[in-house]
Amino acid sequence: MLDADFFRRWMTATAASVDREAERLTALDSPIGDADHGSNLQRGFTAVVTVLEEEAPGTPGGVLTLAGRRLISTVGGASGPLYGTLLRRTGKALGDAEEVSAEQLAEALRAGVDAVMTLGGAAPGDKTMIDALVPAVDALGDSFAAARTAAEEGAVATTPLQARKGRASYVGERSIGHQDPGATSSALLIAGLAEAAGE
Amino acid sequence: MSDEQLVGIVLVSHSAEVAASVAELAKGLAGGGPAVPVAPAGGTEGGGLGTSSELIAAAAASVDRGAGVAVLTDLGSAVLTVKALLAEGDELPERTRLVDAPFVEGAVAAVVTASTGADLAAVEAAATEAYTYRKV
């Protein structure tokens, strides 16, 4: 069973990898976006770790809803409301339980990903974070490690796609050949989950 | 809603200057009617380009007179942040609505309409209708 501490470790591990990869995320965002993805997420996840230490929510749902709110208020770019909604909806779906199963987490994360698709209007294949998250959620039934691999493969598979949503869609065909920064950071989020699980 | 209560307007842009200038433009073009509460929410709190949920929430609270708040946005994260705040439930005043409208033309239409004492639905309709004015 997964408790609040597991979810705190997930957020901390994600913050650390976003920190490590911030320059790469921003570099990926330079040719097709506005070159702020790494620094925006770095600011957001740093704030998440701080607020989780300050308020120390006692349930998995509490950790994720607080983290989501913090991302919405600190990121400053589209990834704020998108990642914020992902974590908040996932957290809300987990409710007030003190511990949740991996199956419950998979189900809740699917609700979160659905909410992101509704908010941003993106579908699989649009070259967005959805292209890493949907395969990850599908693989979560097998193991956390399988979800991490699926997310990484999903992110890499965005390279030949043409962006159909967000800032990158304005550059049209020139978005082809670049790995999507949002899918790449989503793979970091899922890798953080696997790390928290010790996989 | 009674006639004294005017709909409030919030203008959300990635740029503080754009939001403030469009607010000035819309108020200027609204003429001599009752002063519509209009608040810009542009850029990040640090003064950079982007969207701040805190600035949006503060702007919405500052223009809320009880008749509702119409929020107009430019693009991308401005739209998504307002939608996420609305989904949150308690971050924005009751009867706050994200209005689907062109930013400049919609802001002018919204402020002029609100200055007549029109309700939120009429303000929203006027702003959205600004999409239909073709220029060529």
Nearest CA distance, B84 vs chain A (angstrom): 6
Q: Nearest Cβ partner of A72 from B50, B76, B81? A: B81
Looking at residue A126, its pLDDT comes to: 95
Percent of chain A having pLDDT more than 70? 100
pLDDT higher for A172 or A15? A15
Looking at residue B88, its pLDDT comes to: 77
Q: Is the Cβ pair B84, A166 closer than 8 Å?
A: no
Q: Nearest Cβ partner of A166 from B52, B54, B76? A: B76
Residues of chain A positioned with their CB less than 8 A from the CB of B54: 73
3-state secondary structure chain B: CCCCCCCEEEEEECCHHHHHHHHHHHHHHHCCCCCCCEEEEEECCCCCCCECHHHHHHHHHHHCCCCCEEEEECCCHHHHHHHHHHHHCCCCCCCEEECCCCHHHHHHHHHHHHHCCCCHHHHHHHHHHHHHCCCC
Mean pLDDT value across residues A74-79: 88
Q: Which residues of chain B are at the A interface, by a Cβ-Cβ cutoff of 8 Å?
A: 44, 48-54, 76-77, 80-81, 83-85, 87-88
State pLDDT tens for residues B65-119: 999 999 999 998 999 999 999 987 788 999 999 999 999 999 999 999 999 999 9
When pLDDT is cut at 50, 70 and 90, the band that residue B3 belongs to is: very low
Nearest CA distance, A58 vs chain B (angstrom): 21
Domain of residue A129 covers 2-196
Domain count, chain A: 1
When pLDDT is cut at 50, 70 and 90, the band that residue B1 belongs to is: very low
Mean pLDDT value across residues A68-88: 93
State pLDDT tens for residues A32-48: 888 889 999 999 999 99
Chain centroid to Cα B22, Å, comes to 10
Q: Is the Cβ pair A80, B53 closer than 8 Å?
A: yes
Average pLDDT along chain A: 95
Nearest CA distance, B42 vs chain A (angstrom): 11
Q: Is the Cβ pair A81, B48 closer than 8 Å?
A: no
Mean pLDDT value across residues A123-149: 97
Closest chain A residue by Cα to residue B91: A69
State pLDDT tens for residues A88-102: 999 999 999 999 999
The CATH number that applies at residue A130 is: 1.25.40.340
Chain centroid to Cα A37, Å, comes to 12
Nearest CA distance, A199 vs chain B (angstrom): 32
Cα torsion A96, A100, A104, A105 to 10°: value is 90
Count contacts between A and B (CB, < 8 Å): 51
